[in-house]
């Protein structure tokens, strides 16, 4: 059965006081979008502030990105994003918090994003996030007050990777530490290597290189829903499936070039 997956995007455009731009990461968006659409699932978008969100990670030479931006249900949908408060969380079988440094300023503690994640998870759906997108998970609590991440294995952009880029003093908080303080069991691969962790119905990716693995993990959890012509990932058929034994902690290769 086809599932509607909601992609949540940051609206924050400034990388602290560096004078550099930030926003949502296009590569982390396009790759899972293609895999979900190829499996027959629907994808919708929200941005924190509504409307077109600021974008990073754009590779004009990437044909998949060009195709996405040219589609009404891709780039066209980004231009008219509703705000999180304007959608009904009950409509979605999964939510995906897309990364980009901007999320460190407007994802954590956002009431609308928290409500969507809690509703999706408590309804038996899948919550997923990549790179800095897990900022949305830090203050996400379930009905009984327990943090969603408590006792679950997950990954995100780690502290040492932030420091290696000179951004540990730019971002407003340590993402890894904040998740660990909520009881998360933090897992990681070496910097710039793909790492996808599946813990029950929580799917997380460490970095842009993890986007393909995260997308495939979402498809496996949601199940195929039929073809969506022309959007398939031809290389996916050559990749080995993740075994049941690896479902709780899967390190999956694949993804676009790093933009961080």
- Span 113-157, pLDDT tens digits: 999 999 999 999 999 999 999 999 999 999 999 999 999 999 999
Q: How far apart are CA 94 and CA 72, in angstroms?
A: 21
In the structure, what pLDDT confidence band is assigned to residue 231 with cuts at 50, 70 and 90? very low
pTM of the predicted model as reported, rounded to 2 decimal places = 0.88
The average confidence (pLDDT) of the chain is: 89
Position 225 scores a pLDDT of: 80
Q: How far apart are the first and last CA of the chain?
A: 36
120 and 203 Cβ atoms separated by less than 8 Å: no
Q: How far apart are CA 131 and CA 211, in angstroms?
A: 9
93 and 125 Cβ atoms separated by less than 8 Å: yes
User: Is 180 labeled as catalytic in the residue annotation?
Assistant: no
DSSP state of 86: G
Catalytic residue among 41, 81, 162, 195: 162
Q: How far apart are CA 186 and CA 107, in angstroms?
A: 19
Catalytic residue among 81, 132, 153, 195: 132
Token pair listed for 145: 């007050």
User: Is 101 labeled as catalytic in the residue annotation?
Assistant: no
187 and 139 Cβ atoms separated by less than 8 Å: no
26-49: average pLDDT: 98
User: Is 162 labeled as catalytic in the residue annotation?
Assistant: yes
Position 238 scores a pLDDT of: 30
Q: What is the pLDDT of residues 175-223, one digit of tens each?
A: 999 999 999 999 999 999 999 999 999 999 999 999 999 999 999 999 8
Q: How far apart are CA 75 and CA 77, in angstroms?
A: 5
Query: How many C-beta neighbours within 10 Å does residue 63 have?
Result: 8
224 and 40 Cβ atoms separated by less than 8 Å: yes
Beta-bridge mates of residue 196: 205, 250
**How many residues are listed for the chain in this entry?**
260
49-72: average pLDDT: 97
DSSP state of 250: B
- Coil vs helix vs strand at 192: coil
- Is a pLDDT exceeding 50 seen at residue 45? yes
77 and 106 Cβ atoms separated by less than 8 Å: no
Torsion angles phi and psi, residue 256, rounded to 5 = -80, 170
In the structure, what pLDDT confidence band is assigned to residue 226 with cuts at 50, 70 and 90? low
Position 182 scores a pLDDT of: 98
Catalytic residue among 25, 101, 131, 195: 131
- Is a pLDDT exceeding 50 seen at residue 254? no
């Amino acid at each position: 059965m086809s599932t509607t997956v909601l992609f949540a995007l940051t609206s924050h455009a400034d990388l602290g006081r560096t004078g550099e731009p930030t926003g949502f990461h296009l590569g982390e968006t396009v790759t899972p979008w293609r895999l979900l659409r190829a499996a027959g699932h629907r994808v919708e978008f929200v941005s924190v502030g509504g409307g077109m969100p600021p974008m990073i990670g754009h590779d004009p030479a990437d044909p998949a990105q060009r195709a996405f931006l040219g589609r009404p249900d891709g780039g066209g949908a980004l231009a008219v994003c509703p705000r999180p408060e304007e959608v009904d969380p009950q409509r979605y079988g999964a939510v995906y918090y897309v990364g980009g440094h901007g999320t460190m300023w407007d994802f954590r503690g956002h009431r609308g994003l928290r409500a969507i994640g809690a509703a999706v998870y408590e309804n038996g759906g899948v919550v997923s996030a990549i790179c800095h997108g897990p900022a949305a998970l830090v203050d996400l609590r379930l009905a009984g007050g327990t943090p969603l991440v408590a006792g679950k294995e997950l990954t995100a952009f780690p502290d040492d990777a932030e420091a290696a880029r000179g951004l540990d003093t730019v971002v407003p908080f340590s993402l890894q530490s904040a998740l660990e303080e909520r009881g998360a069991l933090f897992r990681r691969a070496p910097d710039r290597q793909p790492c996808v962790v599946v813990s029950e119905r929580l799917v997380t990716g460490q970095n842009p290189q993890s986007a393909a693995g995260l997308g495939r993990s979402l498809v496996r959890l949601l199940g195929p829903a039929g073809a969506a012509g022309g959007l398939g990932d031809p290389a996916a058929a050559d990749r080995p499936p993740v075994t049941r034994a690896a479902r709780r902690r899967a390190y999956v290769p694949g993804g676009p070039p790093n933009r961080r």
